Amino acid sequence: MRGKTPIRKIKPDPKYQSVNIAKLINQVMRKGNKSTAQKVVYDCFDIIKEKTKKDPLEIFDGALRNLGPEVEVKSRRIGGGNYQIPVAVVGNRRNTLAFRWLIGAANARKGAPMRQKLADELIAAFNKEGAAIKKRTDIYKMAESNRAFAHFIR
């Protein structure tokens, strides 16, 4: 039997010295093109600063707080049926899901460069609106409607 995969330490990003921004850059990155991903994220932060006249780090952290879920649903096969069981989100998974929803919602927007779409989605998440927040509310509703199955957790 193999051991658990070790969790790698991620170096903070060069501009803001934040591990969370470095993780966002890594999530935005496609085909290993990190410099392009960095440019997208940093340009996005410049757009946020321009639009809101606030510190982009403050907007980013607020958006992460608003997006990170406390519960999610996991599929579990019991007897003959599949049940969606509400489970508490632990550790880094909160931010991972927040990044995933944020980038997915930004990608779904049409007719603008990625830096613009990401900036708009971050600002929307900070204001508790937008597609990523809708995804979070949908997950919450699903968890709430399946609360009866919570006792199936191991």
> pLDDT tier at 154 (50, 70, 90 boundaries)?
low
Q: Model-level pTM greater than 0.85? A: yes
Q: What is the pLDDT of residue 83?
A: 84
Q: Find the radius of gyration of the CA atoms of the chain.
A: 18
Q: Is 126 helix (H, G, I), strand (E, B) or coil?
A: helix
Within a domain: residue 14? no
| Domain annotation covers residue 93 | yes
CA-CA distances (angstroms) from residue 145 to 24, 37, 83, 108? 31, 38, 11, 27
Q: Is pLDDT above 90 for 77?
A: no
pLDDT at site 27:
93
Confidence of residue 82 (pLDDT cuts 50, 70, 90): confident
Query: Would you say residue 2 lies in a domain?
Result: no
pLDDT at 85 over 70: yes
CATH of the domain at 83: 1.10.455.10
CA nearest 60: which of 118, 129, 139? Answer: 118
Residues 6 or more apart whose Cβ sits within 8 Å of residue 127: none
Q: List the one residue out of 96, 81, 85, 84 whose CA is nearest residue 19.
A: 96
- With 0-12 CB in 10 A as exposed, 13-18 as middle and 19+ as buried, what is 4? exposed
**Within-domain flag for 25:** yes
Residue 147: pLDDT above 90? no
Q: Is residue 63 part of a domain?
A: yes
* Mean pLDDT of all residues belonging to the chain: 91
- pLDDT reading at 150 higher than 90: no
Q: From CA 131, how far away is CA 94, in angstroms rounded? A: 17
Position 63 scores a pLDDT of 94
- Domain hosting 46: range is 19-152
Model confidence over 22-53: pLDDT tens digits?
999 999 998 889 999 999 999 999 999 999 99
Distance between CA atoms of 142 and 72, rounded to whole angstroms? 8
Structurally, how many domains does the chain consist of? 1
Query: Cα separation of 30 and 7, whole Å?
Result: 21
